[in-house]
Copies of this chain bind each other. A is one copy, B any other.
Amino acid sequence: MELEGRFDEAAGVVTVGSDARQRYHDSRGYGYPLPDGDGSNQIALSPVEAAHLLYRGDLAAVVHEETGERLDFQAFVAREPGDDFGVRFLVYADLRERGFYLSPAAEPWIDDPPAGPVDFAVFPRGKGPGDGEIAYALRVIGERTDVPASDLAPGVLAVVDEESEITYFDVDRRAPTGGSDSADALPDSPCEADLLEDRVVVWDPPVDLYERAFYGQPLEGREYDEPTLQCSLLEAAALAEQGAIDLEPATVRRRGRDVEGERFDRRLAVYTALRDRGVVPKTGYKFGADFRTYADVESVDDLGHSELLIRVHPADYVFEPRDLALDVRLAHGVRKTMVFALVDDEGTDADGADVEWWSLERLTP
């Protein structure tokens, strides 16, 4: 027997009676049971769930309680019942097709819904709303929806692009750590250094400054057969701070601000935080990022693979999904993990800046 639902547009639910509870909820994880004082087995469905049942042909139609209209899948979708209905339906249908049950991340669909901006609770394969296990706390957005950095939360972000393809990102905190200790590779007395337009030349540094601490780039860069090192302004600021070169830290920082504004202070804060964490940052320019990082540098001769790409943003930055896709895709392509370093305003004096670290990786549910 084909069932029909009743659409209470104000409440934003579709109720279905008869044996809907067994047929849709208990066996396939749709909706939630309604108190069955009247002996019925009614359930309530979110519009997305109802649309999916209409789409599958499991529900014949839903009847609008006020207007009495009889809505099939096309008519129901055309009404866009509920916020972001289009993108949420696409993600719901995709995950159903991948063999997951999922519910709106809200009571009474599930108990103790996950906190934060979460749209769906996705249950482990083979589990449902009643089993109290959640595989993914899922947030759904369209590719044109901006994401304030302050909204980032551990979980899965599903982005629906303009052609309705879906990309899933695993979002998590990811503070870099490593075993690179460069302190004892620094010279005992300051090396002679010249501040050029937007870089610093260090003359006759100890070989270890490059080979073990991995500061700078030998002139001409091919091999390290002569003692002149080119350093970035970030490296030079860090070296000056530690008394390793004969330039004033303030002078180098001032030059940094001259050539790239306050962005320089944020990047220096992250550069310093990474060195403090035993991680060696080198420029990520070739990857369009601020840094690539090496967790365990013993010697530049066997450097190994850099693990992370790091992009620095102010704490109040607002991400565009398309930029996220670009960064994460590139990092994935070069077998690295994309990490965003969010620096709060304290960051602008480069000391004790508060840095939040977030990794984003592509995920296939």
Contacts and interface: CB of A to CB of B under 8 A. Distances in A.
Contacts of A285: 143, 161-163, 165, 167, 322, 325
A217 B323 contact: no
A89 to B, nearest CB: 9
A86 to B, nearest CB: 5
A194 B73 CA distance: 12
Chain A, interface size: which category?
35 or more
Given A196-B86, A201-B77, A283 B330 contact: no
Given A163-B282, A164-B230, A199-B162, A78 B220 contact: no
Contacts of A329: 286-288, 330
A84 B334 CA distance: 32
A74 B194 contact: yes
A326 interface: yes
A77 B48 CA distance: 68
19 contacts: A74-B201, A80-B196, A86-B197, A90-B230, A94-B220, A142-B198, A143-B285, A162-B233, A162-B283, A163-B235, A164-B232, A165-B217, A165-B285, A286-B325, A286-B329, A287-B326, A288-B327, A329-B330, A333-B333
